[in-house]
Amino acid sequence: METLVACLAGFLVSMAIWLMLSGNLMRFLFGLLLLSNGVNLAILAAGRLTPGAPPLLGTSGALPPDTMANALPQALLLTAIVIGFGLFAFALALTIRAYRSFGHLEVDRMRSAEPAEDS
């Protein structure tokens, strides 16, 4: 079943890159969110999928008889999701700001740092 998640992750990454390359800041943000989801799925799959069985201990720390889901990728994922959200929120703020400054969202027309040469 990791196979399906792997395919889904790859699909999300493809869509994300397509959107990020589109040259529109809003679509770039869509891509950013998809990318973060795709990568999160990749982390999950790399730690193996164990249906059910969340990593919870029994009373006084007894290990349950069956194998639990891998706790390590879950901890990493929690951090990744929150950081990804922070990144998204800041990027969204920048996008709004860019629109206020330039009046459009076309990144290729934002050339304050590298003005086009007059040729």
Partner 1 sequence: MLDGASDGAGRMLGYAASILAALILVSMALMVPAVVDGRPVLFALDWAPSLGISLAFMVDGLSLIFGLLISGIGSLIFLYATGYMGDHPQFGRFVLFLFAFMVSMLGLVLARDLITLFLFWELTSITSYLLIGFDHDNPRARRNALQAMLVTAGGGLALLAGFILIGTAAGGYDLAQILAGPGLQDSNLYGAILVLVLLGAFTKSAQFPFHFWLPNAMAAPTPVSAYLHSATMVKAGVYLLARLHPALGGTIAWSMALTTAGAVTAVLASVLAMRQGDLKQALAYTTLMALGTITMLLAGAHPYALTAAVTFLIIHSLYKASLFMVVGAVDHGTGTRDVGQLGGLGRAMPLTALAAVLACASMAGLPPMIGWIGKELIYAGAETMTAAPFVAAAAVAANALMFAVAGIIALRPFFGAPVATPHPPHEAPWQMLAGPVILALGGLVVGVLAQPLLGSVVGSALTGSLLQDRAAGLHLWAGFNRAFVLSLLTFTLGVMLYLMRDRFAALVDPVLRRLPSLDDGWDRLLDGLRVLAAWQTRVLQTGRLTAYLMAVFAVVALALGLTIIRTRPEIAMELPRSAFLWLTAIFTAAGAVLALNTHSRIAAIAGIGTVGIGVAVIFIYAGAPDVATTQLMVETLSAVMFAIAALRLPGITERRSPRRQMAHGVVALTTGLCVTAIILSVTASPLDRSITSYFEENSYALAHGLNIVNVVLVDFRAFDTFGELIVVLLASFGAYAVLKRKRRAGP
Q: Return the residues of window 18-57 that contact partner 1 according to CB under 8 A.
A: 18-24, 26-27, 29-30, 33-34, 37-38, 40-42, 44-57
d(CA 107, CA 27): 11
Contacts of 115 (CB under 8 A, 6+ apart): none
Under the binding rule (CB under 8 A), the answer on residue 108 touching partner 1 is yes
CB of 104 to partner 1, least distance (A): 7
CB of 99 to partner 1, least distance (A): 6
CB of 55 to partner 1, least distance (A): 4
Under the binding rule (CB under 8 A), the answer on residue 90 touching partner 1 is yes
Core vs surface per residue 24-55: b (16+ CB within 10 A) or e: bbeebbbbbbbbbbbbbbbebbebeeeeeeee
Number of CB atoms found within 10 A of residue 69's CB: 17
CB of 113 to partner 1, least distance (A): 8
Under the binding rule (CB under 8 A), the answer on residue 115 touching partner 1 is yes
Under the binding rule (CB under 8 A), the answer on residue 79 touching partner 1 is yes
d(CA 22, CA 71): 37
